[in-house]
Structure 1
Amino acid sequence: MKYRSAFSAILLAGLSAPVWSAAEVEVKWEDPDSFTDVKPANESRGGFQKRTFNALEEYFAELAESLPDGQKWSVTVTNLDLAGQVWPSSFVGFGSSAGTDIRLIKEIDIPRIAFSYTLTDASGETIKSADVNIKDMGFMDGLARKRHRDNLAYEKEMIREWFNEEMTDVVVKQ
């Protein structure tokens, strides 16, 4: 999926604000059926995967808003392991309704993501690229805990911390 974020609509609306464009982002999910844990609690696996992938693609696009216009950030996700584990609710003592599962978050079930990325300039020349394998062993102690309404808060916080550290030399907008 490709994203392009531009604030030219602000200018068209007659507001005087700077016009910024973000880097183009392309996110690919390589063999998602083999990912460690993208399991739903109470919805279809396909629907949950699609919703999860879309939310993370949007988050990568949000991060790219701070990259210079004309650059392209290509990300290929090779593994995802969401925080916690999915358990039948009857197993963890929350009732015995058939088909109701819950994602139980414990400190031992840390979020992880593996991906490769390439950041290129407008001419297609590589600025940065790497294979990335990140995990957050202290995920329950961070800021994400305060954003409990976002089902992917732990994963997004982990990616944001990596991005802020890895892309600091190319970020132009804060």
Structure 2
Amino acid sequence: MKKICTVMLLAVVMTGPAYAGSARVSWQEPEKFTDIRPTNESKIGFQERVIKEFDRMFDDLAKKLPDGYVWDITVTDVDLAGDVRPFFTPMVSEVRVIRDLYWPRMSFRFDLKDEQGKTVASGNEDVKDMSFLMRLGVASGHNSFQYEEQMLRDWFSKQQKEKIFPVR
């Protein structure tokens, strides 16, 4: 896990100049998160996939920030939509059941800095989407975690609408 975080941090540091906002994401003890449980893949492989796809979500959101802005995020908990249940067949041992009772949730700290490095917004967030199954559309569809992606997009849009985060 430390290797993954180190590689991600180096990748962010070694990139060229920012032509839009950028995100730097760190993960605080993901093995202790409420729910990053796999169904049919290894626990470590699933955890790495979750981190990779969420990092991409945060990067996509950061591109909506003005040039030079840096969004530092520390993810402290994730509870994926649905619940993992046993499924007794020879090929599948567990399945994620998606019901409105098991909404997505995420906790994180953030600092948003402008191009001079001055903090323009910071906070601790507990984001959840209790109506995630009542939406007509889903987010980009580019990853496996569409409900969580839509939840983060909605939260980010609200930050920009309320002028907490600047618009590009």
Q: Please, what TM-score do these two structures have when normalized by structure 2?
A: 0.83
- Residue 53 of structure 2: aligned partner: 55
Q: Which amino acid aligns with 2:134?
A: D
Q: Secondary structure at the match of 1:163?
A: helix
1:164 corresponds to: 157
Report Cα offsets for 1:90-122 as digits up to 9, x if no partner.
2xxxxx226521111111011000001000012
- 1:34 has 2:41 as partner: no
**In 2, Cα distance between the equivalents of 1:111 and 1:83?**
4
Query: Can you list the C-alpha shifts for 1:110-157, whole angstroms capped at 9, x where unaligned?
Result: 100000100001221101001000111001011455877842000000
Select 2:94's aligned residue among 86, 97, 101: 101
1:30-56 CA-to-partner distances (Å, cap 9, x unmatched) read: 011110000000000110010111001
Rounded to whole Å, the distance in 2 between the matches of 1:161 and 1:24 is: 18
How far apart, in 2, do the equivalents of 1:31 and 1:120 lie? 25
| Partner of residue 121, structure 1 | 114
Checking the alignment, whether the CA contact within 8 Å between 1:5 and 1:65 is kept in structure 2 is no
Task: Please give the TM-score of this superposition, normalised by the length of structure 1.
Answer: 0.80
Which structure 2 segments of 5+ residues have no match?
1-7
Decide whether the 8 Å contact of 1:135 with 1:158 is kept in 2.
yes
2:83 aligns to what? 85
Q: State the AA in 2 paired with 1:31.
A: E
Greater mean deviation of Cα atoms: 142-151 or 71-80? 142-151
